Amino acid sequence: MNRLQLVRSQLWLLILIGIIAISFSSIFIRWSEAPVSIIAMYRLFLTALLLLPLLPKHWPDVKRLSLKDWHLLFWSGLTLGLHFLLWMGSLRYTTVASSTAIMSLEPLLVMLGSFLLFGHRTKASAILGMTIAMIGALLIGWGDWGLEGSALYGDVLSFLGTAAVAVHMLVGKTLREHISAFVYSFFVFVLAAVVLAFYNAAAGYSFSAYPPKEWGLFLLLAVVPTLFGHYLFNWLLKYMSATSVSMSVLGEPVGATLLAFLLLGEPVTWLQAAAGSLLIFGVWLFLTVNEKAKNPFE
């Protein structure tokens, strides 16, 4: 195995870890009975608390942040908070398969944003891979989509949450060019949690009246899908394009649907199984032709 192949295999392993981690997010949310904005707030606050001991080591980097950097960090945190609020809210009205499948639109939105804002172009073969993956993701949720009532409301929330995270990803790509993953992630998590705290205060939700089970789920959400998922993808933004990182996240519908079958009893059809294989192939094709290996371990 040459150096280039080794770097690519390392990146693929990290992508796989991130996909598995974020796939647990919808399961933990379904298990919780707390308001989704409370779940999201404590998920982010606890993640920041776990990262806090490392802050002194990175303090010199914090002091170098410009006013523009803080402005962009605020918008990244705001859109991440909105993403969690809207997407997590969608899981109370529609199925895991439907909600996560709608998120397949994220790389398309990120690709368009990357072109309009940064002039980034994508190869035709990579666009083919994206199209295949998106078709697979949409087919996963095909039988679960509702065109009326609460299911439609949940699907709309999922789409709005997808648009919010696409903006978050584009802002993050800009900041990660010159800010470390720790500094970026720590302050984005804190800012998003503060936004959600104001929302919860305005909504009149209790900040403490939750049983031990809920606090355990808050912690699991902080450790598994946030630290091993979102933090890892924030780290990868320096070494991969924002569109490619978004494409990697497309693995979540497959993982979440499988976990929902195993842990929540939600059925999986043969169509969804075939669509999952199609999605995985599309993601693999996109990343293979669109990414030049850049060694993050040098």
275 in any annotated domain: yes
Percent of the chain having pLDDT more than 90?
34
Query: pLDDT class for 298, splitting at 50, 70, 90?
Result: very low
228 in any annotated domain: yes
Boundaries of domain holding 271:
23-290
How many separate domains does the chain show?
1
Query: pLDDT class for 7, splitting at 50, 70, 90?
Result: low
192 in any annotated domain: yes
3-state per-residue secondary structure call for 169-203: HHHHHHHHCCCCHHHHHHHHHHHHHHHHHHHHHHH
CA-only gyration radius of the chain, Å? 18
Predicted pLDDT of residue 131: 80
Q: Does residue 46 contact residue 218 with C-beta atoms inside 8 Å?
A: yes
- H or E element that contains 87: helix 67-90
146 in any annotated domain: yes
Would you say residue 273 has pLDDT above 90? no
- H or E element that contains 282: helix 270-290
Q: Does residue 51 contact residue 210 with C-beta atoms inside 8 Å?
A: no
Query: pLDDT class for 44, splitting at 50, 70, 90?
Result: very high
Please give the DSSP secondary-structure letter assigned to residue 293: P
Query: pLDDT class for 70, splitting at 50, 70, 90?
Result: very high
Would you say residue 181 has pLDDT above 70? yes
The whole-chain average pLDDT of the chain stands at: 81
pLDDT greater at residue 9 or residue 153:
153
62 in any annotated domain: yes
Would you say residue 200 has pLDDT above 50? yes
Would you say residue 90 has pLDDT above 80? yes
Would you say residue 289 has pLDDT above 90? no
Would you say residue 98 has pLDDT above 50? yes
Would you say residue 69 has pLDDT above 90? yes
191 in any annotated domain: yes
Predicted pLDDT of residue 295: 46
Would you say residue 187 has pLDDT above 90? yes
120 in any annotated domain: yes
38 in any annotated domain: yes
Q: Does residue 282 contact residue 130 with C-beta atoms inside 8 Å?
A: yes
Would you say residue 296 has pLDDT above 60? no
Query: pLDDT class for 297, splitting at 50, 70, 90?
Result: very low
